[in-house]
Chain A
Amino acid sequence: MATVKARLGRVTLLRKRLPAPVVAAGAWFRRSGVAAQILTLVIVVAVFAIGTRGKYLSWANIQVILSLAAIPAIFAIGLHPTIVLGGIDLSIQGVASLCAVFVGLLLKNQFNSNDVGLWIIPISIAIGGTAGVVSGLLNTGLRIPSFIATLGMSWILYGMAVYVGRAVNVQILDTRIEKFASSTLFGVPQIAILAVVFAAIVQVVEDRTRFGRYMYAIGGDEVIAKQAGVNVNRTKIAVFTVAGIIYGLGSLLLACRLGVATSRMGLTLLFPTVTAVAVGGVALTGGIGGAKNAALGALIVTALNDGLVLMHVSPYIQQAVNGVVLIAAVALTIDRKKLGFIK
């Protein structure tokens, strides 16, 4: 059997020509799954640092980028598990709008006498989670493609939000969450720290729990996962539920930061969130990419837009740049072997 060992060991032996630490560091960097994203970020930063003659690298600007990236990152962390499954969740705008309306009407405001205080956190979780469960049930129970099930859900929820919220702007008078979000800890915006903690928790769940492992197995090959014993439907429903919960928390933060809750709040969220997830390297074909990718994607997109603003690029051109970035990111990450036809 010694010969067998030698023969099969050759694959690993090939790599031993370089010094071991270099190989190990290279392998770790490659295996980390965020190598390309970190390189992209470095390039974006370098380009704008030169383009703005260093203004881009000022601590004040970095603080702006970090605090602006936090909420998109949280939304992206919510969206990406549904893409890892091989599906997608387009319900974010509806969930966020409905949640924002409830945040406005339940926290202390000038329209009614409600004041639930920090109970708003579990309430947001419940609203988002319920929406996610319904999306998951539509996807698994009625076997509707997630793309359509969640698109429909988005408009159902948005309709409810407009009906309940009467399309008025509600000023939020309870500023505790806003104060937490806009404060800094050792100069770092606390909301950015919150996003990082969020990403870390979700990443650990993905790497080290059965739920996470099953999610990736389904994204890799649903049939094989099922054969191996994965409860596919239960995992899918759980993924959509988690996504909904995170949207709920994200829209709570967003509404508090804006200080105004309105049913229109969600309407611009889908595009930047999908862009962030794609730029982060989460493959639209499923099975690849984690919370760290989603968060980094949001950071890259925010850093890019911040730089464009600093360089006084027209906002319309900025939008076009974002479109190009989305398509380019998908082109680089999609696994075309998995797609029979591009529809």
Chain B
Amino acid sequence: MSLGNGASRDSILALRGITKTFPGVVALDGVDLAIHRNEVVGLVGENGAGKSVLMKIMIGLMQPDEGTILLEDRLIALRDPSEAIRNGIGMVFQEGSLVPNLSVTENLFLCHENGFSNAGFFSLKSMRDAARQLLAELSLQIDVNLPVAEIGPALRQMVEIARLLWLSRLYGRNNPVLILDEPTTVLADKERETLFAILRNLRKSASIVFISHRIQEVIENCDRICVLKDGKNVTEMAASDARLLRIEQLMVGHSFSADRFHEDDQGTGGGKEILNVQGLGRSGSFEPISFTIGEGEIVSLIGLVGSGKEEVCRCITGLERADTGSISLDGRRLSMGSPSGAVRAGIGHIPIDRRSEGLALMMNVAENVNLLVLNRLKAAGLLSPARERKNAQHWVTECQIKTPSISTMCANLSGGNQQKTVISKWLSSRVRLLILDHPTRGVDVGAKDEIYKLMRRLAKEGIGMIIMCDTLEEDIGLSNRMLVMKDGRLVKEVDSSPRSKPSPQSIISLIV
């Protein structure tokens, strides 16, 4: 399995045949991963390729259904993160795992203060000294009394790394395995260089698993690269042999069938203009951007996390206020930063997390579908139960929501049917423009297809859509046009007509 310059070294940690299934999805299918002493392994793959599940298994947050984990050729079971750290395996999470109100020192030694305790009382001075010494080993000089909330994301990562190093030393592990989950997404260029300098230094006494979407930095800073695709090992190679294009190809996989996204039903999308965005900008998030969306057109926003695409959508839906520019819907200018104004104007938003933002889970299907149109369902000033039933029934049939009855609580529906309920809520309010944020996330294959069909029908009815999808293939397959964003700028507009869809590789090279 091992190739390149990793082949001669002995492995510190080896995962063999790891399989993990969730209801309806095989997240990992017999994945092998070996980590050698003193190396940096890059782990790349698309969203949903199984990287995060694999990492969670490595630190004991999840248990594999099948497969074994070997630490220095010894079989181990990792039941929880604390057991992983006792074996010298730790992870720096993307969202961070430091308590914000505690100081750097307090965080470094949290729950492992025994060595500084005298008759039950800590020696604060010896803790501070140990903290300074620990950070000095990483060539860091920071005020160890500062609360973590007051230091930047770069330093926070360093503190987490220092904590993991200290803990593995405490448990007598001389070659810890550190997993860094997309550490560079929150860092500025200079901080990134600093991180890599530290990682190169750390490699002398540790192994590092580095996860990133920026393929170029993986190639430049890792010794070996493993590519995951759909929960399977695709390949691994020495970083010195790696080429950007080749890895991108491997990540995306091979071509896909054209009818998966019902491309035959795709309209030309050249209808009357619905949305007109002019010079919309928000400092710190994205630079001024202009685009239009026509009737029945599906436009995909593409970019990495941090590219600014989410913020653009949040400005259009009024959840955030843009600094500059204007948004017009059907020629009428919208007031900025007003979610209710956006809804009144006819902009619908289907959020990524439908369970917490899109649906009132503890309300039934009818109540959710009718939520935005209560005014139309009144009789003599009061809500009419008959009209409510009628409207809900109409949309349940129209969108083929599979529910025992319209009074079923939404919490009891499947993911796909919940999503259809959210969509019908907006359709019921005669929406003009829909923003779909990962509409098929957490939805099984069959329901995905129904959502695709529903989107095609909405487009035929003249509704414009902005989509951000789970995979690039979905983006390409569904959209008429793609707007590619990178580092807060609109870098390219790509046509995606049914007969001339661009290749995923060509798009990937634009976004990374």
* Chain A residues engaging chain B, CB cutoff 8 angstroms: 1, 3-5, 7-9, 11-12, 31, 204, 207-210, 213-214, 216-217, 219-221, 224-225, 227-230, 287-288
A-chain residues with CB within 8 Å of residue B399 when the two chains form the complex:
none
**B66 close to A (CB within 8 Å):** no
- Asked if A221 contacts B142 (CB within 8 A), the reply is no
Partner pick for A11 among B81, B117, B142, CB 8 A cutoff: B142
Q: Please provide the chain B residues from 87 to 130 with a CB less than 8 Å away from any CB of chain A in the complex.
A: 97-102, 106, 110-113, 117, 120-122, 124
A4 to B120, CA, bound (A): 38
When C-beta atoms are compared, the residue in chain B nearest to A287 turns out to be B101
Stretch at the interface among B193-201, B322-330, B472-480, B500-508: B193-201
> Do A12 and B141 form a contact, CB below 8 Å, given A224-B97, A230-B110, A230-B111?
yes
A-chain residues with CB within 8 Å of residue B194 when the two chains form the complex:
4, 7-8
- Asked if B155 contacts A220 (CB within 8 A), the reply is no
Partner pick for B139 among A4, A208, A216, A224, CB 8 A cutoff: A4
Chain B at the A interface: mostly helix, strand, loop or mixed?
loop
- Asked if B139 contacts A213 (CB within 8 A), the reply is no
* Chain B residues engaging chain A, CB cutoff 8 angstroms: 81-82, 97-102, 106, 110-113, 117, 120-122, 124, 139-143, 145, 155, 158, 190, 194, 197-198, 201
> Do A220 and B101 form a contact, CB below 8 Å, given A8-B142, A12-B141, A230-B110?
yes
B-chain residues with CB within 8 Å of residue A227 when the two chains form the complex:
81, 97
When C-beta atoms are compared, the residue in chain A nearest to B113 turns out to be A210
In the assembled complex, the CB of A35 is this many whole angstroms from the nearest CB of chain B, namely 15
In the assembled complex, the CB of A290 is this many whole angstroms from the nearest CB of chain B, namely 12
A229 to B90, CA, bound (A): 14
When C-beta atoms are compared, the residue in chain A nearest to B116 turns out to be A208
A204 to B119, CA, bound (A): 13
Partner pick for A12 among B111, B117, B142, B201, CB 8 A cutoff: B142
Cβ contacts A to B, 7 pairs, < 8 Å: A8-B139, A209-B120, A209-B121, A210-B120, A217-B99, A220-B99, A229-B111
A208 to B116, CA, bound (A): 10
A229 to B112, CA, bound (A): 9
- Asked if B111 contacts A7 (CB within 8 A), the reply is no
- Asked if A228 contacts B97 (CB within 8 A), the reply is yes
A11 to B155, CA, bound (A): 11
When C-beta atoms are compared, the residue in chain B nearest to A2 turns out to be B139
In the assembled complex, the CB of A281 is this many whole angstroms from the nearest CB of chain B, namely 13
When C-beta atoms are compared, the residue in chain B nearest to A10 turns out to be B141
In the assembled complex, the CB of B221 is this many whole angstroms from the nearest CB of chain A, namely 15
A1 to B190, CA, bound (A): 14
When C-beta atoms are compared, the residue in chain A nearest to B143 turns out to be A12
A225 to B148, CA, bound (A): 14
